[in-house]
Structure 1
């Protein structure tokens, strides 16, 4: 039942990863849904309160769960904490990567300004990149491929970040360093280059984890063609193309 609860959370809060996970084998879903549900819980922690101290306490609560798993303590009674702890334990996921993902969310609390485009990319990597690394390792990827996984995953991370720009700005944060159309194009171009660099990389059992970013190429290409669509909130693809492109990836075994 707790796995179903994780899947439902992902269905509601992260529809792309939900569809990609449903296209994966059942044994992969049992590992991916808890990780993606954990990501959603951590992501929402800074936004459920206006009190920075309370938000920090919520993030620390999840960090404590990671520490307890490493120490061999039983998981807390929570619909996500239990399944998540089981995946971390069974796959021996590195606590440092999980902590990096949690710590990335302090930006949502503090709203620090990015000095340059590289800082934006680094922030996206700490969040989305770390999540993809965890998902890939849980599926049996070689730990030595972490750098390649991060580089391949940054494309979808940037794509999702650009999609979220209007919402982030509405929340009083500055998602870009310079907030120019040139910066939008530079970020999108960087993502496409990383994607191209690893199209022929053999990620083995980690493919379902990377497939969560199956829309990255289309979204980033659209951002380059019309960078104004990012601040305007028009950066999207049709529902037909969204689902059709995933089906094609699944049939061809690509990500």
Structure 2
């Protein structure tokens, strides 16, 4: 993975970078590329001054991933190169991943925001791509279902974490919907850690407490406990 791309991801979301370290070494570049793509979509929204121009930027990214998915060449751009050389060989469906655009577009357009729908549109394809990258194979139906559910939970919590630029005011008046139930089956560890962080956020929201700072010692402790319990459950 491009060093500048990796440094940017680590600086912008240290938690996601940390969860990638719990994956096998051969899967990490793919995970980092997938997270970098999602963060680029959020950057487009956060930095939007003209919504129409931001929509065009999102559409450009979607079209590039569709091209890559079809086996066609893309511009020599570092993130696209990482998705092509790191994520696609792990079996990640880049065209499906491009669908996360639908979770961001409502923040650029007029009308009522549906937090649950936005979270599903963003989180389901994102976590399915991450799970595929970890496992290095297509997901079975139950794995796809649980990854989508965990992704929805995570993306829902992310809406209340801020970093949405001009859309922040619209989100601030939303009432948090019901938090989806936890996935039934086991999740790949990097996804499990993100799901536990989302649950911690939601618990704080329900109790009227401020959200903990990203990558704070308390948040890292949440991840460490989840990882330890996961490993203990797999001991003979």
Report the TM-score, using the length of structure 2 for normalisation. 0.83
In the alignment, does 2:233 pair up with 1:249? no
* Runs of at least 5 residues in structure 1 that lack an aligned partner in the other structure: none
Q: Report the structure, 1 or 2, having the larger helix content.
A: 1
Deviation, structure 1 residue 88 = 4.2
Partner of 2:106: 107
2:139 to 142, 146, 166: 142
1:152 matches 2:150 = yes
Greater Cα offset, 23-32 or 43-52: 43-52
CA change 1:73–1:160 in 2 (3 A) is: same
Contact 1:10 1:37 in 2 (8 A): yes
Shift of 1:172: 5.3
Take 2:45 and 2:158, find their aligned partners in 1: how far apart are those partners? 18
Aligned positions of 1:9-158 closer than 5 A: 9-114=8-113, 119-140=114-135, 142-144=139-141, 145-158=143-156
SS in 1 for 2:171: coil
How many residues end up aligned between the 2 structures?
Answer: 228
Mapping of residues 94-243 of structure 1, within 5 Å: 94-114=93-113, 119-140=114-135, 142-144=139-141, 145-164=143-162, 167-168=163-164, 171=167, 173-175=169-171, 179=174, 183-184=175-176, 187=177, 189-191=178-180, 194-195=181-182, 197-198=183-184, 201-203=185-187, 206-226=188-208, 229=209, 234-236=210-212, 239-243=216-220
Q: Is this contact kept in 2: 1:7–1:33, CA < 8 A?
A: yes
8 Å Cα contact 2:65-2:94 kept in structure 1: yes
Work out whether residues 35 and 84 of structure 1, in 8 Å CA contact, stay in contact via their aligned partners in 2.
yes
Q: Deviations over 1:157-176 (max 9, x none)?
A: 22222222xx5486454227
TM-superposed CA distance for 1:100, in Å, is 1.8
Across the aligned residues of Structure 1 and Structure 2, the Cα RMSD in angstroms comes to 2.7
How far, CA to CA, are the matches of 1:95 and 1:106 in structure 2?
18
For the residue of structure 1 that corresponds to 2:73, the secondary structure is coil
Q: TM-score, normalised by structure 1?
A: 0.77
Distance 1:47 1:152, change over 3 A: closer
Flag the 1:239–1:46 CA change in 2: closer, same or farther, 3 A.
closer
Cα distance per residue 1:176-196 (max 9 Å; x no partner): 7x63xxx33xx3x423xx12x
